[in-house]
Amino acid sequence: MTRPPPPDPPAESEPPGVPGFRTWRSVYLFVIGWFVLLVALLAAFSRYFS
Amino acid sequence: MNLVDWVILLGTMLGIATYGSWRTRQVQSLSTYLKGSRSIGWGTIGLSVMATQASAITFLSIPGQGFESGIGFVQNYFGLPLALVIVCAVFLPIYRRLGVYTAYEFLGRRFDDKTRLLCAGLFLLQRGLAAGVTIYAPAIILSTVLGWRLDLVIVGSGLLVIVYTVTGGSQAVSLTQKWQMAVIFGGMVTAAVVLVSKLPDGLGVTGAAHVAGALGKLHAVDVSLDPTRRYTLWTGLLGGLFLSLSYFGTDQSQVQRYISGPSLRESRLGLVFNAILKIPMQFFILVLGAFLFVFYQFDHPPVFFNQSEWRRHAEAGHAETFRAIEERHEKAVAASQSATRAWLGVRASDDPAAEAAARTAMIEANRRAEAVRADAKAALVAADPRAKTKDSDYVFITFILTELPHGAIGLLVAVMFSAALSSKAAELNALGTTTTIDFWRQLRPLAAADEARNVRVARWFTALWGVVAVSFALFAGFAENLIEAINILGSIFYGVILGIFLVAFFFRRVGGSAVFSAAVIAQAIVIAMYLSLSLGYLWYNVIGCAICIVASLSLQAVLGPPTPRDVTRAA
C-alpha cells in the first residue's frame, strides 16, 4: 500500500491564504454578503425592467 | 454542419478525451485513481464541481426555460451559496480528516454498516438510473435536430467517456472537466455575442431587456407564499438549501470532486468559487433564453421548435390542419412584431398614457401568438396522443443551427457534448468508487490490502456502470416519462439521506439503530405524501430531512442511551 497522505491541520487554524481575508469565517461572511447583494440586485433588475 | 464544424467538434471531443487518457495512463495508486491527484489546485476543483453539476441539459433546457417562462428559475439556486458554506465549514473538514473515499464510508464509521449500505444503495439506485438519462436526454435532442442516428450518438459518446474515465479515474475526470468547461464558457459567450449582434438595429442590450421585461420574462424574484408555486424566493432559499446541501454534501459524484486536492484550503476555495459564481452563471444562461425570446419577436420563429416532430406529423395526413395553424401563427407573429415596434416607438416619447396603451396592445398581441403555439401543441396531441409537445428544449439548438456561422455551430455542439461527457464522467467515477469501496471491499475485507487489485476492480466497476448507463439510455426511448420519474426519485430520496448526514454531524448522542429506523420511517412517509399530495417537489427535501432528524431523536430517546459501540464510533 502507498503511504497515506499527511492529515490536514485543524480546520479553522489553516488560514485561507486569500488577500484581505485572515480567517475562514470572514470568507464565509463574504460569500453570504455576496449572495444577499445578488438577490437585491436581481430584485432591482426585475423591478427596473418590468 | 459542414466540414469546419465537424473538425471543431471531433477535434475538441477526441482531443480532450485523448489528453485525459494520456496524462493519466500510468495511474496505479488507489488514492489517485479514486480521489485524484494531490497536486490539483482550487481552480481545477472548482471547475470540476461546476462541470459535474452542469449537464448538457443545463445548456439545452435552461435557455429554453428562459425563453418560455422567464428567468424565475434562477431562484432554484438561491440555497446553493449557503449550502456550500455549510459543506466547507462542517462536512469537508470531517471527510478529509477521516481520509474517506466515499461519503457513505463516513456513515459506516459514525453509525454502522447497515446505515452506510442503505445510503450507498440509495445513491447507486438513483444515480445509476440518472446516469442513463445524462446520456439519453441530450442525445435525443441533438440526434433529432442534426438528423443523426440516436443509437450511434448514445454509444459513441458513452464509449468515449467510458474509455477515459476507466483509464485515469478521478484524475482524468478532473483534468478533462477543466478543458470541457473552457469549451463551454467559450461557446456560450460566442452564442451570446452572435445573439446580441442579430438583434434589430438600434435595439441593443438595454432595449432587448426592456422588451423582455415588459413581456414578463425578467421577473427574477418572486416573494409569493403560495406553496404550489414551483420557484419562489422561499422555495429557493429553503428547498434549494436542502437540495444543494444534500447534493453537494452527500452525493458521491460531488463529494469525490472536492475531497481531492493537496489541502483543505484548496478544496474549500474550490467550493467557494462555486458559491460565488453559480448564481451569476445561471442568470447569464437564463437571460440568454429571455433574449432569444426577444430575438424571435423580430424574426420568423417556427410555430413549434421541434420541427422534426412537427413535420413528421404534418406528413402523416395532417398537412392541411398544420398548414392552417402555421398561417395563423405567421399572422399573429406579424401583429406581435408590429405591436412591439409600436411600443418601442412610443416608449421613447414622454407620453405615459400612450406608452401604457401600446404596452397593453403588445402584451395582448404576444398572448395571441402564444395561444396559436398552444393550439399547435394541441393539434400535435390530436394527431398523436404520444407526440412530444415540449419544444422549449429545442429553442436554443434551433437558434444555433440556423443563426450561427459555421465553425461556431461546431463549437456550440461541442459545448453540449462537453457538458454531457463532464457530468457523465463524474457519475461513472462515483458509481465505480461507491461499488468498490462500500460494497466490494465490505464483502472482501481481506482484499483491501491489495492496492493493485483494488484499482483493477474499481476500473471494472466503472466500466460496468458505463455499460449499464449506455444500455439504459438505448432503451429509455421506450419510456419517455422515465426521465421525469428519475428526477422525482432524486427529490424523494435526497431529503432523507441529508437527514442521516445531519444527524451524524450534529447529534452525537444518536446511534446507528435509531437513525436507520428513522430513515426507513421518514422515507415511507415522504413516499406516502408524494403519492397523496400535490406539493412542489423541492419541499420533499425539507420534509424528508426534518422527519428523519425528529424521528432519530425520538427513537433514541425511547431506546435509551446509545450502545458503547455507537458512542465509540461517534467520538
Chain B within 8 Å of A26 (Cβ-Cβ)? no
Window 47-86 of B, Cβ < 8 Å to A = 74, 78, 81-82, 84-85
Confidence tier at B32 by pLDDT (50, 70, 90): confident
Least Cα separation, residue B300 to chain A (angstroms)? 25
B341 Cβ partners below 8 Å, 6+ apart?
none
Q: How far apart are CA B52 and CA B146, in angstroms?
A: 25
B185 Cβ partners below 8 Å, 6+ apart?
none
Q: Positive or negative CA dihedral for B475, B492, B249, B239?
A: positive
Cβ B81–A50 below 8 Å, yes or no?
Answer: no
Q: How far apart are CA B3 and CA B9, in angstroms?
A: 10
Confidence tier at B225 by pLDDT (50, 70, 90): confident
- Chain A neighbors of B283, CB-CB under 8 A: 42
Helices (H), B111-263: 113-146, 150-197, 204-214, 233-234, 240-250, 252-258
- Residue B137, Cβ neighbours under 10 Å: how many? 21
Cβ B89–A16 below 8 Å, yes or no?
Answer: no
Confidence tier at B491 by pLDDT (50, 70, 90): confident
Report the Cα B81 to chain-centroid distance in Å. Answer: 16
Window 188-217 of B, Cβ < 8 Å to A = 209-210, 212-214, 216
Q: What's the pLDDT tens digit per position in B403-424? A: 999 999 999 988 888 888 898 9
CA distances in angstroms from B234 to A35, B45, B57, B321, listed in the order given: 15, 30, 25, 44
Q: How far apart are CA B409 and CA B421, in angstroms?
A: 18
Q: What is the mean pLDDT of residues B491-514?
A: 90
**Looking at this protein, which amino acid is placed at residue B227?**
P
Report the Cα B513 to chain-centroid distance in Å. Answer: 34
Confidence tier at B290 by pLDDT (50, 70, 90): very high
Cβ B81–A8 below 8 Å, yes or no?
Answer: no
Cβ A50–B29 below 8 Å, yes or no?
Answer: no
CA distances in angstroms from B320 to B265, B313, B325, B329, B379, listed in the order given: 65, 11, 9, 14, 11
Confidence tier at B493 by pLDDT (50, 70, 90): confident
- Residue B147, Cβ neighbours under 10 Å: how many? 9
Q: How far apart are CA B12 and CA B476, in angstroms?
A: 28
Q: A2, A3, A8, A30: which to substitute to probe chain B, counting the most B Cβ within 10 Å?
A: A8
* Res B405: pLDDT: 92
Least Cα separation, residue A26 to chain B (angstroms)? 11
Q: What is the mean pLDDT of residues B334-338?
A: 91
Q: What is the mean pLDDT of residues B506-530?
A: 91
- Chain B neighbors of A34, CB-CB under 8 A: 81, 275-276
Least Cα separation, residue B562 to chain A (angstroms)? 28
B222 Cβ partners below 8 Å, 6+ apart?
B72, B75, B229, B231, B232, B233
Tell which wins on pLDDT, A12 or B542.
B542
* Res B477: pLDDT: 61
Window 116-155 of B, Cβ < 8 Å to A = none
**Looking at this protein, which amino acid is placed at residue B182?**
A
Report residue B469 as a C-alpha cell.
448507463
Report residue B312 as a C-alpha cell.
413528421
Q: How far apart are CA B314 and CA B322, in angstroms?
A: 6
Cβ B82–A11 below 8 Å, yes or no?
Answer: no
Percent of chain B beyond pLDDT 70? Answer: 96
Q: What's the pLDDT tens digit per position in B338-385? A: 999 998 888 877 788 888 899 999 999 999 999 999 999 998 888 888
Mean pLDDT of chain B: 87
- Residue B402, Cβ neighbours under 10 Å: how many? 12
Q: What's the pLDDT tens digit per position in A1-50? A: 445 555 566 666 678 888 888 899 999 999 999 999 999 999 999 989 87
Residue pair B48/B271 in contact (Cβ under 8 Å)? The answer is no
Q: Per-residue b/e over A11-48, b at no fewer than 16 CB within 10 Å?
A: beebebeeeeeeebeebbebbeebbeebbeebbebbee
Q: How far apart are CA B429 and CA B164, in angstroms?
A: 10
Confidence tier at B568 by pLDDT (50, 70, 90): very low
Q: B98, B258, B264, B294: which to substitute to probe chain A, counting the most A Cβ within 10 Å?
A: B264
Cβ B78–A8 below 8 Å, yes or no?
Answer: no
Q: A2, A18, A28: which to substitute to probe chain B, counting the most B Cβ within 10 Å?
A: A28
* Res B35: pLDDT: 80
CA distances in angstroms from B373 to A14, B305, B309, B333, B392, listed in the order given: 58, 10, 14, 10, 12
Chain A within 8 Å of B354 (Cβ-Cβ)? no
- Chain B neighbors of A38, CB-CB under 8 A: 279-280
Q: Which of B338, B174, B168, B352 is nearest to B256 (CA)?
A: B174
Q: What is the mean pLDDT of residues B9-16?
A: 90
Check pLDDT > 90 for residue B147. Answer: no
* Res B26: pLDDT: 77
Q: Which of B205, B206, B185, B186 is nearest to B195 (CA)?
A: B205
Cβ A39–B449 below 8 Å, yes or no?
Answer: no
Cβ A32–B88 below 8 Å, yes or no?
Answer: no
HEC letters along B203-216:
CHHHHHHHHHHHCC
* Res B482: pLDDT: 54
- Chain B neighbors of A5, CB-CB under 8 A: 31, 38, 99
Least Cα separation, residue A1 to chain B (angstroms)? 6
Place of cell 420541427: B307
Q: What is the mean pLDDT of residues B18-32?
A: 82
